[in-house]
Structure 1
Amino acid sequence: MAAADLRPAGTKAGLPPLPVVMPYAEGEHLVTTDRMTEDRLYWEDADQRRALVRFLAGLQVDVYHFHHYWRLGMDMIADLAEARPDAHFVMTLHEMLAICLHHGQMIKTRGRELCNTQSAVRCLSCFPSEGIDALVLRKAYMLKGLQCMDHLIYCSEFLQARYLDWGLHNRGSVLENYLGDDMLALPRPTPSGTNAHRFAFFGQPTAFKGLDVLLRAMALLPKASRKSGPTPLLLVFGAEQADVLRLFPNLAPVLEALGQSVIFAGRYESSDVIPLMRSVGWVVVPSIWWENSPVVIQEARRAGTPLIVSDIGGMAEKVTPGRDGLHFRRNSATDLAETLEYASKSTVRAQFAASVEDVIGRDAFLAGLAEAYAPTAARAPFRQQQEAVS
């Protein structure tokens, strides 16, 4: 952005016991969140909220671009919009925290059933202690904060559709996240069928990421595939075996049966992700929740490595079956095992690797930002009322 003469005045969430705002680097400040509500969506301390509003309102900027409402506060954002009616307000939405109390996952708290839409009654089944009135008020407060935005940027069409269905205004655009100049400068590999039998998972093994599904699928492969060839291998980047067993203790016999067919490679540096992805045949994204626009998918495309993903949400949108990857039925180890068996053929891997498309480039990304920042863009009705009053 700086190279394009877009000079950001940025803030980052910090940790207590910092003052509410403190300098960090040139053009950057840290914001403490210790006086916010437990969900980090509102401020408990009105004085700290007002101090942050005063600081931000005093910046000599024309555009306020938020990359979250979490750890900033919907109430703070609404106050800032009122304090700076002359400025243009933009927000990039990365997840569905405003819509769903369950960490924004839109998945039931009991079991693994997905939610396709939001309503207070549906939410009550997961959070009975909240009460209908509290759930209705929560949605109203969230909508009020987001309605202050003049332009909303969504990282996927799926995410945009969820917010529109929820009741948010239709003033926005879909813009893929940018990986950065350094990653885009790396040369693209020559497509080949090499390492078709090597599959990889990247990321932390949370309850929603589906690593347990992938491990069970790997355990089914010896039964599913009786053809000769290299033994399928799974590399897990981002976790140790102990991390997985703490989260999924019932996987112990599965891991024992897999033996050397699975390697836990531990943590990795973000700068190493492209070479690591190029060392495998396929990157697997087996999440059991919707996902919106997983960075791992962009990184795999940048690496020229085809993908195997769950057939829902942003994963299904970002990976086109038959072109740059394969889909499998979400939360189905059996279906994933069949997909892994098919993908392990070198001819299949070569075909898909040849058609993996690169990620959004710098110029296209900056053009998308320019559209969102344009002062001629339609103003939020709330902001129009402010201008009429002033």
Structure 2
Amino acid sequence: MKEQLRILLVNKFYYPRGGDCICVINLESLLRRLGYEVAIYSMSYPQNLPCKTSRYFASEVSFSEGVMGKLKATERLFGTGDIVRSFQRMLDDFRPHIVHFHNIHSYLSPIIVKLAKEFGCRTVWTLHDYKLLCPSYSCLYQGEICEACFTDLTQVLRRKCMKGSLLASALAYGEALWWNKSKLQRWVDTFVCPSSFMAQKMRACGFDYSKLEVICNFIEEDKLVALQSIKSDEPDSEPYYCYVGRLSEEKGIRLLLEAAQSLPYQLYIAGDGPLSDELCVKYASGKIHFLGHLSSQEIVWLVSRAKAMVIPSVWYENNPLSVIESLCMGTPVIGSEVGGIPELIREGDGCLFSLGDKEELAEAITAMMTASNIDRVAISQRAQSRFSEGRYWEALKKVYGIEDKIC
């Protein structure tokens, strides 16, 4: 009988900071319930969840600290400092068969992929953003979609894409040159792309298509059980639509608020971010309500009773969990026709509007708010089947290559 399969999950943070972290936490829970031995490797951080392997974590780095702190963070970018020693100890003691990487740039380092490969592990890397194609992650320049670095990495320097800083952009440029496509493809067995859109961009930029697998994100079983108990048809004092997410430029929140000002319907905004204070001052009104950060339970309550959820992004969204969760609650989605969003919103699940088109967005909101034939039960049932743990695991276990292994 073969020894129990050991799987190491790696992400730069280990708390529900964003979609990447939530995906890792959900995957850890799934793998443990399936009976696999699972460990976590991350960066030490005060908000991390309790973890048995935290003693192995890389030390915390920050690019906003003093000179010594910045030097330490710069070392981390290029895979030097304590990262090699701490990850090697993790490998030596846990001895994983599979290492599944998620977001590792900057606060960890791709050097750990090389170490895992040399240790003899199967290496899988789920891509949550476009860092391997765009040194500044987002494929945006001055608020517009940009693919300049797909063919010329020097553009990140010329345009000072990283925070408008020449120094930060130079570091991003150097990082992209050092951790180049040739190296990464030698060390990674499979890149998991949560959307076909991302896989197409990876292939267009020269990544080996045989190393790319498209596996959509999933919603955890516990949340599905909770959603099934929700009575979303309970009447509200007044119908409303909502936005849940980060209040930042790439999310298109300004576009939504501009459209909302011209409409008579109630809009609830859940989330915070760098634009929070500015937007509250400018747009808060009797029909636009800023709720700030909400708990998971509060978000479920808000979204499940909304007439629609709006995803107005102006960047290449990959595979947003907000769309998946909204559909699983039976709430239709009005989404920007960009990135991986159109793959999630099928006929009957909501509608799409042209990227950046305020008038078209306003028309879509009006149509959804006045619609009387939306089958929320059907939306929920379709979504819960499409985004289930079972569907995700059937695809992932092939990537892991464990169909014939005994655990």
Change (3 A) 1:99 1:177: same
TM alignment of 1:8-47, pairs within 5 A: 8-15=38-45, 24-26=50-52, 30-34=57-61, 37-38=73-74, 41-45=77-81, 47=82
Match of 1:158? 197
CA distance in 1, matches of 2:293, 2:75: 27
The residue that corresponds to 1:49 in the other structure is 84
Q: Cα deviations across residues 151-205 of structure 1 (Å, max 9, x unaligned)?
A: 2211111111111222222223211222222102121767869779511010120
Q: Tell whether 2:109 aligns with 1:73.
A: yes
Q: Aligned to 2:366, what secondary structure does the other structure show?
A: helix
Tell me the TM-score normalised to structure 1 length: 0.78
- For residues 360-389 of structure 1, what are the alpha-carbon distances to aligned partners after superposition, in whole Å with 9 as ceiling and x for unaligned? 222222222211111699xxxxxxxxxxxx
Provide the secondary structure at the position in 2 that maps to 1:147: helix
**After the TM superposition, which residues 1-390 of structure 1 pair with which residues of structure 2 at under 5 Å, given as runs?**
1-15=31-45, 24-26=50-52, 30-34=57-61, 37-38=73-74, 41-45=77-81, 47-70=82-105, 71-82=107-118, 84-85=119-120, 87-102=121-136, 104-108=137-141, 110-115=142-147, 118-120=150-152, 122-127=155-160, 129=166, 135=173, 138-139=176-177, 141-143=179-181, 144-170=183-209, 171-186=211-226, 187=228, 197-221=239-263, 231-239=264-272, 243-246=275-278, 252=282, 255=283, 259-320=285-346, 322-348=347-373, 350-351=374-375, 354-356=378-380, 357-359=382-384, 360-374=387-401
| Cα 1:142–1:237 shift into 2, 3 Å | same
Number of aligned residue pairs: give it. Answer: 350
Query: Residues of 2 paired with 1:367 and 1:38: CA distance?
Result: 39
- Cα 1:340–1:185 shift into 2, 3 Å: same
Q: Is the 8 A contact 2:251 2:312 kept in 1?
A: yes
CA distance in 1, matches of 2:159, 2:176: 15
Question: What is the CA-CA distance between 1:311 and the residue it aligns to?
Answer: 0.5
Give the 3-state SS of the residue equivalent to 2:130 in structure 1.
coil
Q: Which stretch of the first structure deviates more once superposed, 141-150 or 198-207?
A: 141-150
Which amino acid is 1:338 matched to? Answer: E
SS of aligned partner of 2:38: coil
Q: TM-score, normalised by structure 2?
A: 0.75
CA contact (8 A) 1:275 1:303 kept: no
In structure 2, the gaps of 5 or more residues are 1-30, 62-68
Higher relative contact order (CA 8 A, sep 6+): 1
Report the more deviating stretch, 61-70 or 71-80.
71-80
Once the two structures are TM-superposed, the CA of residue 238 in structure 1 deviates from its matched residue by: 1.4
Identify if the C-alpha distance between structure 1 residues 181 and 23 changes in structure 2 by more than 3 Å, giving closer, same or farther.
closer
Per-residue CA distance 1:10-64 (angstroms, 9 max, x = gap): 1232238xxxxx995335654324275459643342x442332233244222111
Offset at 1:347? Answer: 1.5
Cα shift at 1:133: 12
Q: What is the Cα-based RMSD across aligned positions, in Å?
A: 3.4
Q: Distance in 2 between matches of 1:132 and 1:10?
A: 31
Identity %: 19
CA drift at 1:329: 1.5
| Whole-angstrom CA distance in 1 between matches of 2:229 and 2:318 | 25
TM-superposition CA deviations, 1:105-128 (whole Å, max 9, x none) = 1011x2424438712155454239
How has the CA–CA distance of structure 1 residues 283 and 58 changed in structure 2, closer, same or farther, with 3 Å as cutoff? same
> Which amino acid is the alignment partner of residue 262 of structure 1?
I
Shift of 1:142: 3.1
**C-alpha distance in 1, partners of 2:329/2:379?**
12
- The structure with the larger Rg is 1
Residues 262-271 or 28-37, more deviating: 28-37
Residue 247 of structure 2: SS of its match in structure 1?
Answer: coil
Measured in 2, the distance between the counterparts of 1:182 and 1:133 equals 42
Q: Supply the distance in 2 between the matched residues of 1:184 and 1:41 (Cα, whole angstroms).
A: 38
Following the alignment from structure 1 to structure 2, what is the Cα–Cα distance between the partners of residues 164 and 210?
27
Cα distance in 2, alignment partners of residues 73 and 62 from structure 1:
20
SS at match of 2:42: strand
Cα deviation, 1:63-87, whole Å, max 9, x if unaligned, reads: 11112222320123213322x13x2
For 1:218 and 1:281, how far apart are their aligned partners in 2?
14
CA distance in 1, matches of 2:249, 2:170: 28
Task: Show structure 1 runs of 5+ residues with no match.
Answer: 17-21, 222-230, 378-390
Contact 2:77 2:175 in 1 (8 A): no
Deviations 1:273-319 (A, max 9, x none): 22221121100000111110111011101111000011110112211
Residues 188/133 of structure 1: CA separation in 2 closer, same or farther (3 Å cut): closer
Q: Are the structure 2 counterparts of residues 149 and 6 from structure 1 closer, same or farther at C-alpha, using a change threshold of 3 Å?
A: same
Counterpart of 2:15 in structure 1 is: none
Q: Cα 1:260–1:118, aligned 2, differ >3 Å: closer, same or farther? A: same
